[in-house]
Amino acid sequence: MPVEMENRGPSAGNDQDFYRPLLEVNGVTRLYLNGLGCRDISFVVHPGEVVGIVGESGSGKSTLLSCISGRATIDKGSVIYDMEGVGPKNIFEMSEVERERLALTEWGIIHQNPRDGVRMDVSAGGNIGERQMSLGLRHYGKIRQQAGDWLEKVEIDLDRIDDTPKAFSGGMQQRLQIARNLVTHPRLVFMDEPTGGLDISVQARIVDLLRALVRELGLAVIIVTHDLPMVRLLADRLLVMQRGTIIEEGLTDQVLDDPHHPYTQLLVSSLPRA
């Protein structure tokens, strides 16, 4: 397929599937009428890799994330995802039905506000079971068993399984959102400020949880955050955005310990020395 060939990135010369990127973002641009948004963004994510995106408020992080997860249209560029059993596909050349199906089977999305990603009037068990039911699991006992297992994994008491998340604390709601996404073992998870609205102590617990789950499940993650200490703990690689473009990119420790771009230096100077 010509499109796929055209869009092969630097690793295209390597025939072994093992080294093939899971996601390849090529020159993605989406500009709002006011000229803001994100511009000519390119990067890759490999299977099992955690990529952090940091940058000041308004630098286009959320815009970028919604583009590459297929929830917003783009003006230019392509997003190539290596589909299980199918191979690399430009998600913007898929039909909406195909794209939604892909998101359901292979992706997860964790929103900053649990209200955007959790059904508040459905029980915790029902929330966790939804994806499995959408994928066709029709055994109540199994759905419930796995819901219970996942509550345990995200450290929510099993006896809350039939409670609606309305009565949960913010941290619990966020952990439920994580369980709800990971229960079907997605390969790639998009996270936009997953600890954004939470207390510091609660944040730390979520970060620990995410770290453990990412490792256990071998997840690839793209995580947008303001939280540099968190990104150091979680991300293998880091992208720094300013005014809609990537201004610096590298291994997380490298970028944080030896920032090159003046903006990154400014950003990092606010960090307590490791």
Ligand X SMILES: Nc1ncnc2c1ncn2[C@@H]1O[C@H](COP(=O)(O)OP(=O)(O)OP(=O)(O)O)[C@@H](O)[C@H]1O
Q: How far is the CB of 185 from Mg ion (least distance, A)?
A: 27
**How many whole angstroms separate alpha carbon 79 and alpha carbon 70?**
9
What residues have CB less than 8 Å from 268, skipping those under 6 apart?
A: 228, 255, 256, 259
**How many whole angstroms separate alpha carbon 101 and alpha carbon 127?**
18
Of 1, 27, 32, 212, which one interacts with ligand X (CB under 6 A)?
32
**Both tokens of residue 232?**
């150091």
* Stretch touching another protein by CB under 8 A, among 47-55, 76-84, 95-103, 173-181: 95-103
Q: Is 161 in the site for another protein (CB under 8 A)?
A: yes
Of 21, 37, 125, 186, which one interacts with ligand X (CB under 6 A)?
37
Between 124 and 239, CB nearer to another protein: 124
Is the Cβ–Cβ distance between 110 and 192 less than 8 Å?
yes
Between 36 and 233, CB nearer to ligand X: 36
Of 6, 155, 162, 208, which one interacts with another protein (CB under 8 A)?
162
Q: How far is the CB of 158 from another protein (least distance, A)?
A: 13
* Stretch touching another protein by CB under 8 A, among 27-35, 37-45, 50-58, 115-123: 115-123
CA 176 to chain centre: 16
Q: How far is the CB of 11 from ligand X (least distance, A)?
A: 28
* Beta strands 237-242; 245-251: pairing state: antiparallel
Between 19 and 140, CB nearer to another protein: 140
Of 36, 104, 213, 268, which one interacts with ligand X (CB under 6 A)?
36
Binding mask 62-81 for ligand X (x = CB under 6 A): xx------------------
Q: Is 195 in the site for ligand X (CB under 6 A)?
A: no
**How many whole angstroms separate alpha carbon 60 and alpha carbon 162?**
39
Beta-strand runs (E) in the chain: 23-31, 37-45, 50-55, 76-83, 87-90, 107-110, 188-192, 220-224, 237-242, 245-251
195-201: long-range pairs with CB below 8 Å, 24+: 195/225, 195/227, 195/230, 196/112, 196/113, 196/225, 196/226, 197/112, 197/113, 197/170, 198/170, 198/171, 198/174, 199/170, 199/171
Between 154 and 235, CB nearer to Mg ion: 235
Q: Is 131 in the site for another protein (CB under 8 A)?
A: yes
Number of residues that bind Mg ion (CB under 5 A): 1
Number of residues that bind ligand X (CB under 6 A): 12
Of 133, 158, 212, 266, which one interacts with another protein (CB under 8 A)?
133
Q: How far is the CB of 48 from another protein (least distance, A)?
A: 27
Is the Cβ–Cβ distance between 218 and 47 less than 8 Å?
yes
* Stretch touching another protein by CB under 8 A, among 28-36, 77-85, 129-137, 204-212: 129-137
**Both tokens of residue 106?**
């292979």
